[in-house]
Amino acid sequence: MSILQTTQSTHYDRYPHVFRGTKIIIEKDFSALGRTLEILSFGCSTGEEIKSLKDKYIPDANYTGVDVNEQALIKARELLKNYQGVVFANSIHFKLENNRYDVIFCLSVLCRHLLEKNEPPLLFNLFDDTLTALDRRLNIGGYLVVYNANYCVLDSSIGDKYEPVYSATITESNSNVQMYCKDGVNTRELGICLFKKLR
């Protein structure tokens, strides 16, 4: 898969409002699932996202962390070496087609941080192609969490398969990236970042 993010910056419990809000919704929705939740952290960097979720929010799930940067994955494996139910893979070699997930987190991956560095936005086709690949691996009824992105999931080619999930605790109000229309020129209001797959 293509390199989408120009920085590996991350830290522990980086987006507590997103983690907390997602936890509330999926605990209610998956309470009768009858099996262990499968969660993908796409663009997992050095593993702090998974560690945060495992420590504080959704401890009993199985996690797969995927990143294009092998040095980041080495750090992630070391950070979580004593954790059960956690695996990591390089996205260049990782076969998404072999796995299905109930929740996919894609946080601060599909963007350029224009407000900080005056970068042009991520190309829309990269955004769209990535979401299409992730959608193939998300179970119907599952949740796609896309935060700090240059475009809205609903504007993508998979957008009509999803419904936005509104929550006071999960908003883009503190996003530090600019959101654009598909043309990558005209700006749009920040949208919701949690979506349920309907079909």
**89-136 pLDDT tens trace:** 998 776 656 789 999 999 999 987 655 556 677 889 999 999 999 999
Residue 140 to residue 142: CA distance in whole angstroms? 5
Percent of the chain whose predicted confidence (pLDDT) is above 90: 65
In which band, very low, low, confident or very high, does the pLDDT at 167 lie, cut at 50, 70 and 90? Answer: confident
Q: What is the pLDDT of residue 129?
A: 94
Q: Encoding tokens for residue 184? A: 């990558």
- Report the mean per-residue pLDDT for the chain: 88
Q: What is the pLDDT of residue 116?
A: 55
Domains and CATH numbers, the chain: 16-197 (3.40.50.150)
- Of 68-77, 104-113, 180-189, which gets the smallest average pLDDT? 180-189
- Would you say 144 and 38 are in contact if contact means Cβ atoms under 8 Å apart? no
Above 70 in pLDDT, residue 74? yes
What DSSP string runs through 168-197?
TTB-STT--S--B-TTSSSB------EEEE
138 three-class SS: strand
Residues contacting residue 16 through CB under 8 Å, at least 6 positions apart: none
44-22-96 Cα angle (round to 5):
40
pTM above the 0.95 mark? Answer: no
Q: What is the pLDDT of residue 164?
A: 93
- Would you say 62 and 37 are in contact if contact means Cβ atoms under 8 Å apart? yes
| DSSP E strands, the chain | 38-42, 62-67, 86-90, 101-107, 138-147, 162-164, 194-197
The sign of the dihedral angle between the CA atoms of 151, 141, 26, 50 is negative
Average the pLDDT over 180-195 and give the result: 82
User: What separation in angstroms does the CA of 57 have from each of 86, 99, 112, 120, 182?
Assistant: 15, 23, 28, 34, 33
How many residues can be counted in the chain? Answer: 199
- Of 153-157, 169-173, 184-188, 192-196, which gets the smallest average pLDDT? 169-173
130 CB-side CA count, 13 A: 31
38 three-class SS: strand
**1-50 pLDDT tens trace:** 555 555 667 889 999 999 999 999 999 999 888 999 999 999 999 999 99
